[in-house]
Amino acid sequence: MIKVGVLGAGTMGSGIAQVAATSGHQVVLVDVNEPQLEKAKQSLTKVLMRLVEKGKYAHNEANDILRRITFSSDMNDFSGSGIIIEAIVENLSIKNEVFRNLEQIVDEDCILATNTSSLSVASIGAVLTKPGRIVGVHFFNPAPLMPLVEIIPAVQTAESVLNAAKNLIDSWHKVTVITKDTPGFIVNRVARPFYGEALRIYEEGIADFATIDWAMTELGGFKMGPFTLMDYIGNDVNYTVTETVFAAFYYDPRYRPSLTQKRHSEAGYLGRKSGRGYYNYAEGVELPSPTKDEKLGLEIRDRILVMLMNEAIDALFLHIASKKDIDLAMTKGVNYPKGLLQWTEEVGLEWVLAKLTALQEEYGEDRYRPSPLLKRMVKNGQKVF
């Protein structure tokens, strides 16, 4: 069984280390910040002991998992690893420097993987003397609990490296999907309207945060409404991803960020972690009640839903991923009630196209343009599946 290296002992890196060690690998978790390393060690110990209390593991099993993880501040301890998974700050120049250094330490056949969620895998691997060894492996937070991992081959990635990375992550009992190296990959690209259109509906004064959340949970079947979810993720994090995707797509209006979210982020209303976001989470403060108007709720739900469906169809049109992987990504990565392509088929492609066309005519914005594939399928009487 190969030795696994994980670079970065933040929440994501320590979670990936836990997943690999639970699957029986010897793991080296490296972080140059020693206090962060100690924090990760204490946090992992606490998590595993809690799992023992819940009966998920016997005491000796949890101890074995911990023993398989070496905590180090020296990247030279990665020597002999079969794969290194980098999970550090989303900064290209820092990642480039790290990968240059890693290549001097590891063997020639070691896979160098990045957990980036918003940067180009090709640009991260461009500094390598053997760029064929680069691959994206994008886990979702928290890594031990979230089943989905997006596997992203760069244009340089060798097919053997792609296959080896996918097989390894599959062996960790994860659901893997293969996606093209494009901004946002599958999930962060296709999910943008869930937040963006909800914010737009609020900005137009159609409904408040609570009513929009109610429409999407009670009438749409989503586990969390968009504003509750943004507060959970963190408005600063969610806004940065939107801004990154918007810039990476050459300022396509479909991905335009919201001033409402920017102002909340600037004010320090980051969500649950700051005690205040779109909602106030201070002790004793009651959350606002929604306006339970079914007609209004259905209008909100349908407007957000057709935008999501159009995004999924466009991802298919541009060969970002297969039909199966697009739907798997959205159900396993962000817990959508149904795969968006399957859902589109159920409600009817004609209905989706009619809604989008009406929105585009009303607003005169390219934001609402239907995917060419959607128009083509309706014209030819085709189905998604």
- Residue-wise pLDDT for 173-189, tens only, equals 999 999 999 999 999 99
Per the structure block, which two tokens stand in for 15? Answer: 């979670």
Ranges in the chain annotated CATH 3.40.50.720: 4-178
Tokens of 205: 């004064």
Residue 29, SS3 per DSSP: strand
Q: Which residues contact 305 (CB under 8 A, 6 or more apart)?
A: 220, 343, 347
Predicted local confidence at residue 68, as pLDDT: 98
**Which residues of the chain have a pLDDT value below 70?**
none
Tokens of 340: 């968006």
Question: Where, residue-wise, is CATH 1.10.1040.50 in the chain?
Answer: 189-380
Give the type of residue at 48: L
Structure tokens at 253: 């209006």
CB-count exposure of residue 364 (10 Å: 0-12, 13-18, 19+): exposed
C-beta separation of 137 from 113 below 8 A:
yes
The residues annotated with a catalytic role in the active site are 117, 138, 150, 188
4-178 maps to CATH 3.40.50.300: no
Assessment of whether the complete model's pTM goes beyond 0.75: yes
DSSP 30: E
* 153-157 contact pairs (CB < 8 A, 24+): 153/121, 153/178, 153/181, 154/120, 154/121, 154/122, 154/124, 154/125, 154/181, 155/122, 155/181, 156/122, 156/125, 156/126, 156/131, 156/132, 157/121, 157/125, 157/132, 157/133
pLDDT confidence of residue 118: 82
pLDDT of 183 reads 93
Residue 223 is predicted with a pLDDT of: 96
Please name the fold of domain 189-380. N-(1-d-carboxylethyl)-l-norvaline Dehydrogenase; domain 2 (1.10.1040)
Instruction: Identify the pLDDT of residue 385.
Output: 93
Q: Give 334's contacts (C-beta < 8 A, 6+ positions apart).
A: 140, 187, 191, 194
